[in-house]
């Protein structure tokens, strides 16, 4: 299993990654154009899922980026954003109990699972480009269980990176998602390939 450090070294080994990420960060803050940014993240997941080179791909084929971005954003909203919003809805009434920071505990699982769950959904969607595959909870939960020891560190790293890079928020978000989503994908592929080899034996 490649480590987060190994994945990041490969992603950021190409000197052009910064300019590619800047474009993604700019697109991310423009309504409608943000689908292109998500299409780019979709492409990064796809190349990692196929076992191709881990890098920031060239920008191009804008129509495909946009269409794939629509799908990736929809999956992100359902599996990533909505669970956090539901957890926040549970937290809000607790403000009246005056328990300090402890009232935010219900948010922790939602925040920790949002990234891996989103990537698991996109990972499954890419196989046949069927939305029903992206939301098969039994399969997604099995994927998370099989890689649970691998996504805690990158998730904490992402949260720390977003907090530390707050002044450069959209750039930080885009780079953080690119790195963490690629790592989650590599983890899922590693487990999947390991099981295939076991079956063949």
So what's the pLDDT on residue 30?
Answer: 94
| pLDDT tens track for 54-87 | 999 999 999 999 999 999 999 999 999 999 898 8
Contacts of 146 (CB under 8 A, 6+ apart): 191
| pLDDT tens track for 82-128 | 998 988 887 776 666 666 566 667 778 888 889 999 999 999 999 99
Among the residue ranges 26-30, 108-112, 132-136, the one predicted with the least confidence is: 108-112
Number of neighbouring beta carbons within 10 Å of residue 47? 15
Dihedral (Cα; 80, 191, 181, 83), 10-degree rounding: 10
So what's the pLDDT on residue 24?
Answer: 96
Confidence class for position 136, pLDDT limits 50, 70, 90: very high
Judged by DSSP in three states, 141 sits in helix
So what's the pLDDT on residue 101?
Answer: 60
């Amino acid at each position: 299993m490649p480590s987060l450090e190994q994945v990041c070294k490969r992603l950021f080994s190409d000197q052009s990654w910064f300019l590619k990420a800047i474009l993604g960060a700019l697109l991310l803050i423009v309504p409608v154009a943000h689908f292109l940014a998500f299409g780019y993240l979709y492409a990064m997941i796809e190349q990692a899922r196929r076992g191709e080179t881990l890098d920031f791909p060239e920008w191009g084929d804008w129509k495909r980026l946009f269409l794939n971005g629509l799908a990736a954003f929809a999956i992100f909203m359902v599996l990533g954003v909505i669970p956090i919003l539901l957890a926040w809805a549970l937290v809000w009434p607790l403000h009246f109990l005056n328990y300090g920071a402890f009232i935010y505990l219900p948010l922790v699982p939602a925040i920790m699972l949002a990234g891996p769950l989103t990537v698991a959904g996109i990972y499954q969607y890419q196989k046949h480009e069927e939305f029903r595959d992206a939301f098969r909870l039994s399969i997604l939960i099995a994927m998370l269980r099989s890689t649970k020891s691998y996504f805690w560190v990158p998730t904490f790293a992402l949260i720390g990176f977003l907090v530390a890079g707050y002044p450069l928020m959209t750039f930080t978000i885009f780079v953080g998602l690119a790195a963490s989503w690629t790592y989650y994908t590599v983890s899922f592929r590693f487990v999947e390939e390991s099981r295939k080899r076991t079956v063949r034996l």
